[in-house]
Structure 1
Amino acid sequence: MAAAVTSRDVQEIVSKLSSDKAKPREEGIRLLNTWLDGERSIAFCNYLAHNTAQLKPNEIPHSETWPFLVTLLIQCASLEVSASKRRSPKLLYAKTLRVVVQRAEDSKFSGCTLPLLSVVKLLFNHIWDISSNVPSFQSEYGLILRHLLTIKDYRFHMRRKIYSSLMLWYMEKVETSLNEKITSLSNPKEEVFRCILTLHSLLENPPGDFPENLREGIVEGFVGIFSAVRDEGKISRKLIECVNMYLLQDGPNLGCLSWKIHESLQQFVFRYWLTSHDRSLKDAFTTYARLQLNLERDIGGESSLMDQLVDVVCKELDQISMSSSGNPRNEVVKDDKVGSLSGAHCNLVELGALVFYKGWL
């Protein structure tokens, strides 16, 4: 049976984390982790969740609540970074903050909704301060950021300046990473992919409308990123999805900037559209083309895009037709016999209809 949690247990952790000396703070971090792991975690998290739920609106969180614990961990992480001029900060601080945020938000534990609302602005500020300066913390903090961004009531508390800074920093980091030689020892592909996941989350979940002064920076970021994209794969596929998300979210406000994006992507898109065997990548290309065609612009570039798409769409539709007619009768599933199409093929057919419709206008 899991041990019960008492106020004294929590206060012991709080006392150590509040110390002005590094050793007691680290002891507090390790003690906290013993309570966050295993069977004891359930009782500990329920205890903090219950106390947090009892807080009245605008009440300052006391020392046995999730917001107070997160604030302490932010202070501890900042002090650890400040004290680590000649060595890397201990990753345990970042991991512990990430675990605490995840536990606080875990629906399994009884408590209130939005338990970190009172500290989320501080948390966003801290993520930016540390991520931009401490490479070893970036992976853990990226996980925290992606989680917070998915919650509407949290992301609306992010300052626009912080959002813009994070967006441009992640774009620059992705571009720099793609330009570096990827090896198993430095700059692994998984690290780059995690950065792109966070970039996608930022594009998908802005704290309101995109700031006008950020648009050109985002477009320039995509131009730089795709100048460094060399091959197809999950990294390039996710990057196309990033572009699609941005065009979906802010495309109508871009004007001629949307064509600038296309100029940077077109070589990659049309090099791999017909040759790739990655159906998800092809589907991302199809979505990209539809988004670009649906954007109203008067810059003389749409006819060029149409010419490119007519050729590709016709060849893709021919491939689908040949593939379908080449299937032995006994290998055709029932749905195929009545003319149904997969989601990816439907997407392509809809693009074809749009291309030919616009071609007749």
Structure 2
Amino acid sequence: MKKHKGIYFLIFSFFIGVIFVLLVYSGLWLKFTLGLKTISWWSWFVYLIFAFYLTLTLHELGHFFAFYFQKIKLRAIYLTIFVFYKTKKGWRFTIKPKLWVLFGGLVVPDMDPIEDEETYQDISVKFSKALIAAPIVTISFLVITILTFILTYILSTNSQWIGFMTLFTLYVILLSTLYIYTFKLSNQMFYGDFVAYEKIKTDPIFRFVQLNQYLSFGLKERKYSTFMWEKSKILIKENDIKRDAFYMTLLMTYLEGIIYEQMKPDLDIDLKLNKVPLASFARVEHGLIALYDICLYHYFLGNVEKAYQLLEQIEKRQGTKINERIKVYFNKKTKHVIHIQYDQEFLDDKKNYPAEQSWIFAPIMDIYEDMETLHKPLEFKLYESLVDLSVNDEEEIKKSDISLVK
């Protein structure tokens, strides 16, 4: 193996040497050195910023125009700290320094409600095309930049232009390579464009959660979609219980439709809920939140004892790595809603709300809009059990009295 590596190194070195000789012999190497000498030290940083925002903007415009040409309206485009967003009065611009954490961009469509299967499938196809459009733009721009760089070296005699194209091309290659690498990455919360493109075509749960999320960003007044709730019910029945964030989000969509929109529960899903792996769910953030929703679900349906028992188990088994703020908020909120303790003051304080990543969308939506509904106590359910207080024997009555005194 080491022998082969040595051979590869020699072959690579040979080709580098040949290319260098050709560049020197043709005079192109002199052009290269003279071009770099025209670049001042501070220009290296300026060109990097320019290349970063140009490649990022072109990438996000790939998403943007893919939506636009497919007749899906747009709500916002994020370019790191710069946000262009649409309101009822037209487009606006704002700067949010905190958005540096994105270290990238984001395009948000302005979707109309989905009320039938045909529209749902049509939007799914359009989304997949919009996802793949941006990587195509990024790769195309990389190829165009390299070709322009080669032509510049061959045809131009302007040292400053050669110097600029050299440094600019270098940055575009590095940044585009980084982008292409991230297109293939994924975890529980992040999916690169290539991965998302494949999943939205092949994974029905991923597709549903993505579309349902973007529906909440619509500029029109939000109305509850019975079609999307019915869709969530079908998907839960068709798929086994999973411990990933998308399945848990799907489950919460179904549960919240029953709790807050009075949708009719499904008996088959009710049986599935009894088989949810509590210990496994309680170890992760989305699983813990889903368990609290299941607790509310049981209480709403009048299964008070089951709700109380589940709440007690959640408190014992919740994962130690979950953000403490999330654990405190959902515990207090659940106890308040099912009449165990009164925490209105705590819940009214927006600082206690674990916004997590939702603050990113603050320019286009009120992330606290639903708090009043979510914090409103559910209709009180009587929790009682029958106790036989009839004792026939006076001796037994005396014994019981003595035991009570002790």
TM-score tier by shorter-chain length is 0.3 to 0.5
Structure number with larger C-alpha Rg: 2
* TM-score normalised to structure 2 length: 0.35
TM-score of the superposed pair, with normalisation by structure 1 = 0.38
Structure having greater relative contact order (Cα 8 Å, sep ≥ 6): 2
Higher helix share: 1
Higher strand share: 2
